[in-house]
Amino acid sequence: MNKWTFRISGLIVGSELKLPGVDPVPGPQKQPDVLIRLRPVPELLDSPVKQGPGWQLSARHFLLRLAGIGGMLCTDGQTVDLDPAPGTDPNDALPFVLGTCFGVVLLQRGGLVLHGSAVADAQGRAFVFCGRSGIGKSTLAAALCRSGTHFVTDDVCSVSLAEAGSPVIWPDGRQLKLLENSITHLDLAAQRRGAVRSGIGKCYIEPPAPPALLPHGAGTPLQLAAVYILNNDKLSGATVIERLSPLESAQALHGQSYRRRVSLAMVRRSSQVALTAAVVSHVPVFTLTRPPGLDQLARTVSDLHAHWQELPQ
């Protein structure tokens, strides 16, 4: 039985467990698109077509097994079954359910999933920031929200196509995940909502500008206006934004796939190639090189606002 209902990446999610870092959806909702359940899962898949460290993939299933955490089985983009390891707390597995497993669910449903955080301006234009783990995607998104933009999503960014064929991304109920120094620098301590996972030093933070304030509503997709690939340059004293060629853009988007080894294993059974081509055709992709450090963050935010004024409205 579903005790909780959430909206994640445009999907209604019913869950037997309260999901950390995601705001529940109030009131009655339609039938869930995805169910998160406590169920036994197999030790191994029958006839896997691909596998990697701790995971196996078949035509309909993705199995993730983590020592001391448990097993998780994603099926047909519709269910995520969680089987906690004996003697463990099921809640310890939920960051992996919301991360790797939900990324797989989106791929199973035909989406393109980028490892990025996103914000939107008052016109509903969405901007995605991709880059390696730890480069500051979430911190930049939080700082932009402090400057008047609206939060869209953190870490897992689902891209699909509108009826007209243009790429859109989905806002959802996720919260930001920030390190303590970023929380202090951005004065967000009052919006702390608990630790992400013991030992990694990150906390969930209620966004300064939540999705409910977006002009088109939290459940409506937003026009993807630009993608930025983040780089840090200790020798640079300025923000440098450079547009990539179509070929470079396609390569960059491939490199920023969420859980890249898994997404590559699923590429023939998903719409990743077609969606990447659509993004390259409709959306500019830039590299954003900036000086590192929280003391340089305000300058990067200012430079981005100026850059957005140059983009098509």
Distance CA 110, CA 32 (A): 17
- Kindly tell me if the per-residue pLDDT of 5 is higher than 60: yes
Whether the CB-CB separation of 289 and 231 falls below 8 Å is answered with yes
Burial (CB count <10 Å: 0-12, 13-18, 19+), residue 89: exposed
- Kindly tell me if the per-residue pLDDT of 216 is higher than 50: no
> Could you tell me which of 210, 222, 228, 208 has the C-alpha nearest to residue 124?
222
Average pLDDT over residues 118-138: 92
Distance CA 247, CA 5 (A): 41
Whether the CB-CB separation of 120 and 170 falls below 8 Å is answered with no
Q: What are the pLDDT digits (tens) for 73-96?
A: 999 999 999 999 999 989 889 999
User: Could you tell me the two tokens for 310?
Assistant: 């140059």
**pLDDT score of 25:** 81
Burial (CB count <10 Å: 0-12, 13-18, 19+), residue 39: middle
Domains of the chain: 4-108 (no CATH), 112-310 (3.40.50)
Least confident segment among 25-34, 63-72, 289-298:
25-34
Q: How confident is the model at residue 21 (pLDDT cuts 50, 70, 90)?
A: confident
The helix-helix angle for 246-255 and 272-282 (nearest 10°) equals 130
User: Could you tell me the two tokens for 126?
Assistant: 């969405």
- Kindly tell me if the per-residue pLDDT of 277 is higher than 70: yes
Q: Are strands 222-232 and 167-169 parallel, antiparallel or unpaired?
A: antiparallel
- Kindly tell me if the per-residue pLDDT of 26 is higher than 80: no
Alpha-carbon separation of residue 102 from 41, 64, 301 (angstroms): 17, 12, 30
User: Could you tell me the two tokens for 64?
Assistant: 């993730």
Task: Say whether 278 sits in a helix, a strand or coil.
Answer: helix
**pLDDT score of 199:** 64
User: Could you tell me the two tokens for 103?
Assistant: 């990324």
Q: How confident is the model at residue 167 (pLDDT cuts 50, 70, 90)?
A: very high
- Kindly tell me if the per-residue pLDDT of 152 is higher than 80: yes
Q: How confident is the model at residue 28 (pLDDT cuts 50, 70, 90)?
A: low
- Residue 312: how many other CB atoms lie within 10 Å: 7
Q: Which amino acid is at 308?
A: W
Q: How confident is the model at residue 298 (pLDDT cuts 50, 70, 90)?
A: very high
- Kindly tell me if the per-residue pLDDT of 278 is higher than 60: yes
Q: How confident is the model at residue 1 (pLDDT cuts 50, 70, 90)?
A: low
Q: Alpha carbon 299 to chain centroid distance?
A: 25
Average pLDDT over residues 178-185: 89
Distance CA 32, CA 158 (A): 18
User: Could you tell me the two tokens for 203?
Assistant: 């906390």
Radius of gyration of the chain (CA): 19
Task: Say whether 242 sits in a helix, a strand or coil.
Answer: strand
Burial (CB count <10 Å: 0-12, 13-18, 19+), residue 27: exposed
